A and B are shown apart, each in its own frame.
Chain A
Amino acid sequence: NAGVTQTPKFRVLKTGQSMTLLCAQDMNHEYMYWYRQDPGMGLRLIHYSVGEGTTAKGEVPDGYNVSRLKKQNFLLGLESAAPSQTSVYFCASSSTFMGQGIYEQYFGPGTRLTVT
């Protein structure tokens, strides 16, 4: 059981380049999320998805796009990378919201992205 996996683990981009980060989960979770983590800022939600074919904006969506074409995959795209997007990116997944609370979010190992 792999849980949540992320590809790639490290990447260096030049300003203006594009790339896609892939997140895959094998737990049949409905909800998936993309966060970025910067020193002193904690984790901030970029985009999330409540099910296949649906996506929604989080706290810091500008400069990013996402797609959830398959339930198990959630892609994060950077169309034109900027140095401000240098960060550690975490993907997470969780079971369906059940009213009184939500289930634990399981995180992938992260992608360390540097934009020069």
Chain B
Amino acid sequence: RKEVEQDPGPFNVPEGATVAFNCTYSNSASQSFFWYRQDCRKEPKLLMSVYSSGNEDGRFTAQLNRASQYISLLIRDSKLSDSATYLCVVTANQGGKLIFGQGTELSVKP
């Protein structure tokens, strides 16, 4: 079993749609959780951290369920510019190391 697993995708949605990405992780000792965004052939960039209480940043909402070892990302009112691959990321046991999911590709169409 992979340490971090994401929806395989790709997700093809129209502009204005709401889309949700799911992610599960296997290491119950993981302490920090993130969503990164990666545009085609570019480097990953931090989209948002994920907190136990859930957090929102504009059209983006991230949720964490430690009991189920599950992370989600909700994007409301999708824009063409949201088209990218979204990477679910958790910390490993040892400080400073991140474990990346394989990514879920999102394509927002006019």
**Which residue numbers of A lie inside 8 Å of B, CB to CB?**
31, 33, 35, 40-45, 48, 50, 58, 88, 90, 94, 96-97, 100-102, 104-105, 107-110
Sample 11 A-B pairs with CB under 8 A, ordered by A number: A35-B100, A40-B102, A41-B102, A42-B102, A43-B44, A44-B100, A45-B97, A88-B41, A94-B96, A100-B32, A110-B42
B59 within 8 A of partner (CB): no
Number of B residues with CB within 8 Å of any CB on chain A: 21
B59 to chain A, nearest CB (A): 20
14 new A-B contacts, CB < 8 A, other than A35-B100, A100-B31, A102-B91, are: A33-B97, A41-B102, A42-B101, A42-B102, A42-B103, A43-B44, A50-B96, A97-B96, A100-B32, A101-B31, A102-B96, A105-B46, A107-B44, A109-B42
Using CB atoms, name the residue of chain A closest to B2.
Answer: A42
Mostly, the B contact residues are loop
Contact digits for B84-110, partner A, Cβ 8 Å, 1 yes 0 no: 000100010001111011110000000
User: Per a CB cutoff under 8 Å, which of A40, A42, A50, A88 touches B100?
Assistant: A42
